[in-house]
A and B are shown apart, each in its own frame.
Chain A
Amino acid sequence: MAGRWTAVGLRIAQSVPVVLGVVVISFLLTRALPGDPAVQFAGAAATPESIEQVRASLGLDKPLLQQFLIYCGDLLQGDLGQSVSTGRPVAEELASRLPASLELTLTALILSCAIAIPLGVLAATRPGSWVDQLCRLLVTAGVSLPTFFTGIVLIYVFYYLLGIAPSPLGRLDFIYLEPDPVTGFFLVDSALMGDWETWLGTLKQLILPAITLALFTLAPIARMTRAAMLAALSADYIRTARAAGLGRGKVLYGYAFRNALLPVVTTLGMVFSFVLGANVLVEKVFAWPGIGSYAVEALVVSDYAAVQGFVLCMALLFVLLNLAIDLAYSVIDPRFGTEAK
């Protein structure tokens, strides 16, 4: 099907203007800083001379369009500027902290999909049953949970009261050695080394923040799965399948579930948006050394280059994830690209 490959290529091409838009917005955010950006970038202990020096080095004395082009040029070289507080390049710091954030986010997503999708399917196939009620309650309660608050409650219960969780300080207790970085994911790296003790230590640290994030994303996935499954089950083709004598398993999973998966996959895009946002809060609560807590620390000391670098990094990550979702969609749905969505 040549049409489909064209559609896939078109979808990839579509992310180009979006990336461009993202870059424009991040640029505008940098230049919209209150007061004189040069003063902000120069930091608290700046002298008039150093401010002028910063102004020139940032190119703030040039016209806006030229500034934008310089900004783009810097981006292409991977230069997001210098962090005022640590003095290191922002890009370098983000790169070193990104695996921690990704490991947390992905674990949480896998966890919540593993619970939410079966729950939604069960609720839809048994409307009115206790599973359905549980799903309804979880769905409504889940989106109401402020992640930072659930995190704190979990710490209080499992660390302070029960004492079964390790202290909520980072990815790995200091008694373990960090595994050799291959992927940057501690779970994967320690498994690669065969160091199961470290693997367990990593899991222990990971489990509470992952649950916190998963609880938050459970709701939209379960809700969408249930709705999509209900819609699919009442579709005409299910009646055809039943009238043809197909078995319940085939009707439910072969026909209804595969169709129901389409809107669920679409919802995942929104869920990623939530999860990347909530990630920031959870990292702060659990002192997780990812890019979210880096941004929060930078905010406290008004380290704007770091914050804007973080925003841009998150946006690019999200664009990439959305692209991945749409490509996954194109695999499931044969109609992809043949009609206006």
Chain B
Amino acid sequence: MTVQADPPARSGTMGHVAYVLRENPVTALSFALFAFFLGSALFGPMLVPYDPLATEAAIALQPPSAAHWFGTDSLGRDVFSRVIVATRLDLVISVAAVALSFVVGSVLGAVAGYRGGWTDIILNRVLDTIMAFPLFVLAMGIVAALGNSVANIIYATAIINVPFYARLVRAEVNIRREAGFTQAAKLAGNSDARVVAFHIFPNALPPMMVQVSLNLGWAILNAAGLSFIGLGVRPPTPEWGIMVAEGANFIVSGEWWLALFPGLWLMLAVFTFNLMGDGLRDIVDPRRRT
């Protein structure tokens, strides 16, 4: 992603990162957890002990054991293998949705924030209308209308996230529109487009990095929530939301492992992204440390 490709703006950045990580082991932990999830997504399907789709009625609903670490589900599938394999799908959905909304939101927000006037008013009205829906409900409506598919989950999640980026970029661009360095860039012979793209926008990146990390977690929650109520991903595809939904039916009879492990993994993934957000913000803005 472009965010990570951005070169460190200050020579003291590395020292500051080291300071933040040392001072705040929680942040270090979150980066380690992120590496773990990335590994699961990339290599998980090759490494898991069982085929996540293979059913075996004889060993249905077995509690966790040495052979099946997270137990088996009602069809005798290995829960551990399914949880690990699901990482890829959940990460792909959230990363794709966030990337899409990042790009679209940035462009819309930058144009509106810089041009102002009618462009700004119209964009704001459109964003207001999108934000007028409770976002998860809008996502439900969109997926229900467009049809049950992974791609539509991505689109729905992207659409409900666009306003966040557009507003953030708009605000960041707007406060810098009249800044001295913006005017200096114009005096240096830069066209308006160049001023926005190369002088103003890069300065909006730090707060956006935090938003990206928070939104990744939120996008996973959103996708899992949609699957939980039967939208989007369909069984038997392993996905955390569906697995929790399937496990929910067995919770009242005491088979806790079906819902617990996918739920824990989901929680851990969101937790990781949120912690990273705090860490990134601490790195970007040392004033927030009290």
A residues neighboring B (CB under 8 Å): 17-19, 21-22, 24-26, 29-30, 32-34, 127-128, 140-141, 143-149, 152-153, 155-156, 159-160, 167-168, 230, 272-274, 276-278, 280-281, 284-285, 295-296, 299-300, 304, 307-308, 310-311, 314-315, 318-319, 322
Name the segment of B14-22, B47-55, B65-73, B247-255 touching the other chain. B247-255
Scoring A19, A146, A274 by chain B CB atoms within 10 A of each residue's CB, the highest score goes to: A146
Return chain A residues, CB-CB under 8 Å to B83. none
How far apart are the CA atoms of A25 and B131 in the complex, in Å?
12
Told that A146-B244, A148-B225 touch, could you supply 6 new A-B pairs with CB distance under 8 A?
A145-B267, A159-B252, A281-B228, A295-B140, A307-B141, A311-B133
The reply to whether A278 and B136 form a contact with Cβ atoms under 8 Å apart is yes
The reply to whether A156 and B140 form a contact with Cβ atoms under 8 Å apart is no
Select from chain A the residue with minimum beta-carbon distance to B130. A25
B195: interface (CB < 8 Å): no
Q: How many A-B residue pairs have CB under 8 A?
A: 156
The reply to whether A273 and B290 form a contact with Cβ atoms under 8 Å apart is no
- Supposing A146-B263, A148-B244, A308-B141 touch, asked if A32 and B146 sit within 8 A by C-beta, the answer is yes
- Supposing A152-B248, A152-B263, A156-B251 touch, asked if A146 and B221 sit within 8 A by C-beta, the answer is yes
A164 to chain B, nearest CB (A): 15
Select from chain B the residue with minimum beta-carbon distance to A155. B251
The reply to whether B134 and A276 form a contact with Cβ atoms under 8 Å apart is yes
Q: Which of A21, A149, A311 contacts B140 (CB 8 A)?
A: A311
Return chain B residues, CB-CB under 8 Å to A314. 133-134, 137
- Supposing A34-B146, A281-B228, A296-B230 touch, asked if A144 and B274 sit within 8 A by C-beta, the answer is yes
The reply to whether B125 and A280 form a contact with Cβ atoms under 8 Å apart is no
Return chain B residues, CB-CB under 8 Å to A299. 140, 144, 229-231
The reply to whether A29 and B263 form a contact with Cβ atoms under 8 Å apart is no
15 A-B pairs, CB-CB below 8 angstroms?
A21-B128, A22-B133, A24-B129, A29-B144, A30-B145, A32-B145, A145-B267, A146-B225, A156-B251, A159-B252, A272-B134, A273-B134, A276-B134, A307-B140, A311-B138
